[in-house]
Structures are given as C-alpha cells and as structure tokens.
Amino acid sequence: MKCVVYKGMRKQDTYLYVASAEALTELPKALLGQLGELQQVMDLDLTPHLNLAAADPAAVMNSIESRGFYLQLPPGAPTDTC
C-alpha cells in the first residue's frame, strides 16, 4: 500500500499517514486543526513486513483503509490528544 507521511508542526513527534496527498481533504477538520501545518516527510510503500520505527505497519495499513488515516503520537502521549 502506498502512503504519504506528514509531520504535524504543532505537536512534536506527531506524524500523519494517509493514502495520498488528496486524502487530506477528507480528514476531520478538528484533527487537521490540532496538528497545525503539515510538512510532507516521506512516501512509503507499506507492507505488513516493513519495519517502522514507532508503528506496526499492519495497524497503519488497517487504519488508513478503515479511517482514511493513521496518527502516530509520540511515545507516552495520551491517545485522546488529537
């Protein structure tokens, strides 16, 4: 699965994975507002066996397919912050 990774400029070490840049227009405005300006950091070809530094690739793929995005928060961050 191809995806694009963005860094949220408002919250340190917060990354947003989406299927494409166009998918950003479908995301909840509240989510985008909390992340602030987004900076594209990489394009990925996700597979279940790909090693990601701070996320399970299968969980990322499942979230993108079901919710349209995957939000990676910093370690120890409360999950309800975004």
CATH fold label, 2-72: NE1680-like fold (3.10.510)
Q: In this model, does residue 21 exceed pLDDT 80?
A: yes
- Would you kindly state where each structural domain of the chain is located, as residue ranges? 2-72
The whole-number pLDDT of residue 3 equals: 96
Structure pTM?
0.87
Give the pLDDT score at 80.
53
Helices (H), the chain: 29-35, 57-67
Q: What is the pLDDT of residues 28-46, one digit of tens each?
A: 999 999 999 999 999 999 9
Q: What is the C-alpha separation between 15 and 82, in angstroms, rounded?
A: 11
Amino acid residing at 35: L
